[in-house]
Amino acid sequence: MTGDADDLKDEAAERSAIGRRLDGIRSTPAGRLTLKIAVGTVGAVLVVAGLIMVPFPGPGWLVVFAGLAVLATEFHWANRLLDFGKRTLAGWTAWLGRRGWTVKILIVLVAAVAAAAIVYYGVKLTFHIDLIAEARKLLTR
C-alpha cells in the first residue's frame, strides 16, 4: 500500500518539476512568447489533425481533446473549451448510460454504418476503387 503513496508522491514531484521549468521559461518576455508560440503551434496541429480524423475510424476526438489540453496549458479560452467538452462528454455518457440496450445497440449500428460509408466513399473518391465491386469479384471467384 505504501508503494502507491510513493508513486503518487513521485508523480506530484514530476509535475511540479515540469511546472517549475515552465515557470522559468515564462519568467522572461521572450520565453513567454516562445512558449505561447510553441504550445499554440503544437496544440493547433493536434486539433486540426484530430478534426481531420473525426469522420474516419480511429482516435479523432481523442486527438482533438489532446490538442485542447496542450493549448489549455497556455490559453484560457482553450481551458474553457476543454471544460465544456468534458461536461458535454460526461452528459452524453450519463444520458447513454440511462438508456436501454436497444438504444445503445442502435447507436452503435448507426455509428458503424456511418463509419463504413465514410471509408467506402473515401476510398472510392480518393483511389477510384469500388470496394463493393471488388468484394463481389472476390466472392464470385
SS3 letters for 3-32? Answer: HHHHHHHHHHHHHHHHHHHHHHHHCCHHHH
- Residues in Cβ contact with 74 at an 8 Å cutoff, skipping those fewer than 6 apart: 35, 36, 39, 40
What tens digit of pLDDT does each residue of 88-127 get?
989 999 999 999 999 999 998 998 898 888 888 888 988 9
**pTM value > 0.85:** no
45 is written with which cell numbers?
496541429
Rg (CA), the chain: 22
pLDDT in tens, the chain (141 residues): 556 766 666 666 666 777 788 888 888 888 889 999 999 999 999 999 999 888 777 788 899 999 999 999 899 999 999 999 899 989 999 999 999 999 999 998 998 898 888 888 888 988 999 999 999 999 988
Burial bucket for residue 119 (CB in 10 Å: 0-12, 13-18, 19+):
middle
**Start-to-end C-alpha separation, the chain:** 62
* pLDDT for res 128: 92
**Within 10 A of 97 (CB to CB), how many other CB atoms are there?**
8
